[in-house]
Amino acid sequence: MKDYEEWVKRLMNFRLPRFDELPEIALYLDQVIEYVNEVLADLHQDKREVITRSMVNNYVKHKIMPAPHKKRYTNEHIAYIIVISTFKSIMSLNNIDVGIQSVLSGMEPKLGYDVFVEYVESSIRGTIARILREEDSKWEPAHDGMVLLPLKIASLTFAGKTLIDNFFDTKEEKI
């Protein structure tokens, strides 16, 4: 449990690169994979590989992200991969694509990515703060707070996933 608590503390300081901080020079796929896995490493305690070569090729094949130019990926490609990699465990690729297109219909890719970064970071911090806040102590006389932690996290995840799934179910346009 101590490792988990330390990871949660690290997660409170988690920071994604802003668009202007992404590599300015075009990279080959292996370099992109290494970069994205490093950027997203703190999201997982076990430091597992988040993105693979075949995943990126699949995203391009299904037109969820633009194809590379002469086998090189720009900062815009990297932004797509970070967004997709972040949301793929909670949303279908179709819904991720619809969400990306929805955001890009209202703003430039650079701004859209930076808004994504701000939302993800504030959501992580807000969720952790909500889970650990003092106000939840009303449940603790009968139960140790850490005993209820998985229930709190699962409930928040369920609520968020239910809301996002139903949002996309109401979208008329399907890909």
CA–CA gap between residue 106 and residue 112 (Å, rounded): 8
Average pLDDT over residues 135-142: 48
Q: Decide if pLDDT at 147 tops 70.
A: no
The per-residue pLDDT for 127 is 81
The winner for highest mean pLDDT among 14-28, 97-111, 130-144, 161-175 is 14-28
The per-residue pLDDT for 140 is 46
Percent of the chain with pLDDT over 90: 45
Q: Which residue has the higher pLDDT, 16 or 2?
A: 16
Strand pairing partners for 27?
Answer: 73
Q: Decide if pLDDT at 163 tops 80.
A: no
The pTM is what?
A: 0.82
The per-residue pLDDT for 19 is 98
Q: What is the pLDDT of residues 42-62, one digit of tens each?
A: 887 777 788 999 999 999 999
Percent of the chain with pLDDT over 70: 80
Q: Which residue has the higher pLDDT, 85 or 161?
A: 85
For the chain, what are the domain ranges? 2-121
Structure tokens at 99: 């969400």
Residue type, 144: D
Q: Decide if pLDDT at 139 tops 90.
A: no
Average pLDDT over residues 23-44: 94
Q: Decide if pLDDT at 135 tops 70.
A: no
The winner for highest mean pLDDT among 49-63, 97-111, 131-145 is 49-63
User: Measuring CA to CA, which residue among 29, 53, 44 is closest to residue 86?
Assistant: 44
Measured over the CA atoms of residue 63, residue 119, residue 163 and residue 160, the dihedral's sign is positive
Q: Are the C-beta atoms of 95 and 164 separated by less than 8 Å?
A: yes
- For the chain, the average pLDDT equals 84
- CB-based burial, 80-91: b 16+ in 10 Å, e otherwise: bbbbbbbbbeeb
Residue type, 159: A
Close Cβ partners of 131 (under 8 Å, ≥ 6 residues apart): 149, 152, 153, 156
